Structure 1
Amino acid sequence: MGGLEAVSVGIVVADVVARPVQGSAGRGQLELVEEILLCSGGSAASTGYALARFGISSAVIGRVGQDGFGDFLANEAARHGAQSLLIRDPQAATSATQVLVDPEGERTFIHAIGANARLTPADVPLAELRARGAKLLHLAGFFALPGMDDPEGAPAARLLAQALELGFLTSLDNVWDATGRWERIHAVLPYSDFFFPSIHDARHITGKWEPKAVAEELFALGVRQVVALKMGPEGAWVISRRGERYRLGALAVPAVDGTGAGDAFIAGFLAGWLRGRGLCECGQLGSAAGAMCVRAVGAMPGITDWAELESMAQQVPVLSGGDL
């Protein structure tokens, strides 16, 4: 295997996407939709594959079953230009999500955790990855990774702490917490250089409402360098611990499906950071990547390459660069 710059660890999912779903069928009835697609999904895969498309040498680590969905996902990494370090687990089925996309592009998810539940820090060969040149470790989907979470986020905190000791930059993404025990992620934040929650999730994690208070609380909880608050059609805030902050607008693109848009944002931001770009430009690249993603069904079909990403990023409006 060749060298690496970034490693994306976490949830890997087979997404079965149906659209547009009107919700008109009652129990025992049939509703027809325009299309049903099988797509690679899960935060680790979507961010890792988008990084590869943006020219960053990346690998994805996760667990999949020895089943048809697992076969599909094992082949997806090469198709997107990433390295697959997926573990084929004989004791669990591949994680899968039924994604129901309504006519406005909003999504409803029906999810089975499957093999993702068995991913642990022991599955991540940090020293080997660092020896291959990896600079960044991204942990994706914390709240859907029981093996990284119990007890109270300790395994994930240990993994990122070890990564920092080896010289990695560390990055964290959470996903929705169906249990409502949001405080579990607090143990992981002091070992995270970058944290990328949606504003909705960040409000649950911090107990704060306004973006300024949310960001301040996340830094107080230990985030080391950057908080990026993803706000969907309202754009994003990107804030550094040093006090640099930018409010970014959203690009106006036809929204077909929002699946994976947050993961694409992370990939765009990190691709810029690994190239030495400043905070504002990284935020613009993240926003542009999210806009790319929503143009097509599934997490990856709308993602093209670095050249288009840079071009789109130049169109992302910077609404303010002062106080929140």
Structure 2
Amino acid sequence: MSEQRSQHAVYDVLVIGGSGVDTVVRVDSLPVPLADSFGVPAIREWPGHTGGNVALGCRALGLEVKFLDFIGDDWIGGQVRERLAKGGVDFEPLISPTGTRRAVNLVDTATGRRMSFYDARDPGDLRMPRDFYLPHLRRSGHVHLSIMDFARHLLDDIEELGIPVSTDLHDWDGLADHHREFALRCDLVFLSAAGAGERIAAVMRDILREGRAEAVVATAGAGGSYLLTRDGSRTPRPIPATVPPGPVVDSNGAGDAYVSGFLYGRLTGRDLEECARLGARAGAHACTAEGNTDLIGPEALLSA
């Protein structure tokens, strides 16, 4: 049982939203030159996406995980169910009339870098019923929200119940309105440094100044990550990247693995900088296999 977990919590982490299936196409290099057609290696499909990958990563680390989301009543949704069940995640889906989310990801075979084409497909009026999610909130020690539009409507209840909450803004540029409420109403905020580019430090400071976060983490792939906290300097602290334990095969899901490693550290009482180092270790490990097929366990995470 985690040290910071609520006395009555059944789940260490409740993940809301963000499942789907990635279709992965491996190419010689990115960007892909303009041409009518290319021959590529075998095209693979991996169920996961951001919320699914965080749920699987946390479960692989021994945390008790509940996952709530919308999927379609389709064969793609069946893949999501199967992968989460195989990973030991307690998944309780609702059916979306528009089907299961998908993405097509181009992956550079030389570097593992990726370019994603994301099909969110959720209708704008999609809502998770309160009587469905509220009992699960009350049984959870921590909530991780994917930035699905329907997930923002849980924030009032999460705040009223006093449950710590995290989110991943991915490549937010610090300007797009869709991400802002998540950025300002979560206790731990993750994002990619790529979205804001040279403005990333300013974006991180804005999140702390305007919101409730105790820490903001910007991931930068092989460049490591950056941590900014309320009790530290106004300059984000660099966290070195971990050298992967094998050849880099696929960077899909590396950021989600980082989040899982960080949350494991936080839920087991470690300080924020150590959490970031655990996140870096988990993210590096994830790059050595396709999809989310080789997630790091607690022994490997802590023994490095």
Identical aligned residues as a percent: 24
Deviation digits for residues 211-231 of structure 1 (CA, Å, limit 9, x no counterpart): 3x3322221121421111111
Of 89, 94, 101, the residue aligned with 2:100 is 94
- CA 1:18–1:195 in structure 2 vs 1: closer, same or farther (change >3 Å)? same
Cα 1:60–1:210 change in 2 (3 A) is closer
Q: Which runs of 5+ in 2 are unaligned?
A: 1-8
Residue in 2 aligned with 1:292? 285
Pairing 1:300-311 to 2, within 5 Å after superposition: 300-311=292-303
- Aligned to 1:171, which of 150, 163, 166? 166
* SS state at 2:100 partner: coil
Q: Residue 32 of structure 1 aligns to which amino acid in structure 2?
A: V
**Paired amino acid for 1:198:** S
Structure 2 residue aligned with 1:315:
none
Cross-structure match for 2:258: 265
Q: CA 1:68 to 1:105, structure 2 compared with 1: closer, same or farther past 3 Å?
A: same
Q: 1:222 maps to which residue?
A: 211
1:209 matched to 2:193? The reply is: no
The one-letter amino acid paired with 2:199 is W
Change (3 A) 1:186 1:131: closer
1:231 aligns with one of 220, 237, 260 = 220
Amino acid at match of 1:70: G
Alignment of 1:32 with 2:24, yes or no, is no
Paired residue type of 2:154: L
Shift of 1:74: 1.1
Q: Is this contact kept in 2: 1:135–1:167, CA < 8 A?
A: no
1:53-68 to 2 correspondences below 5 Å? 53-68=60-75
TM-score (norm 1): 0.81
Cα offset, 1:30, TM superposition: 4.2
SS at match of 2:129: helix
Return the offset for 1:302.
2.8
Give the direction of change, closer, same or farther, for the CA distance of 1:186–1:112 in structure 2 (3 Å limit): closer
Q: Given the superposition, is the C-alpha separation of residues 75 and 252 from structure 1 closer, same or farther in structure 2, using an over 3 Å criterion? A: same
Which of 186, 191, 194 aligns to 2:180? It is: 186
**Separation (CA, whole Å) in 2 of partners of 1:117 and 1:277:** 39
Cross-structure match for 2:6 = none
Instruction: Give the whole-Å Cα distance in 2 for the aligned partners of 1:176 and 1:125.
Output: 30
Does the Cα contact within 8 Å between 1:126 and 1:163 map onto a contact in 2?
no
Shift of 1:108: 1.7
Partner of 2:4: none
Matches within 5 A, 1:277-288: 277-288=270-281
Q: Offset of 1:16 from its aligned partner?
A: 1.3
Name the SS for the 2:77 alignment partner.
Answer: helix
- The reply to whether residue 75 of structure 1 matches residue 68 of structure 2 is no
Superposed CA offset, 1:191-233 (max 9, x none): 21010011123x27xxx7263x332222112142111111111
Is the CA contact 2:19–2:69 (under 8 Å) kept in the aligned structure 1?
A: yes
The 1-side partners of 2:123 and 2:55 are apart by: 16
In structure 2, the residue corresponding to 1:269 is in which secondary structure? helix
CA distance in 1 between partners of 2:149 and 2:154 (Å): 14
Post-superposition CA distance 1:48-70 (Å, at most 9, x none): 11000011101221111111101
Report how far residue 177 of structure 1 moved.
6.0
State the SS of the aligned residue for 1:135.
Answer: coil
- 2:120 corresponds, among 113, 117, 134, to 113
**Superposed CA RMSD:** 2.5
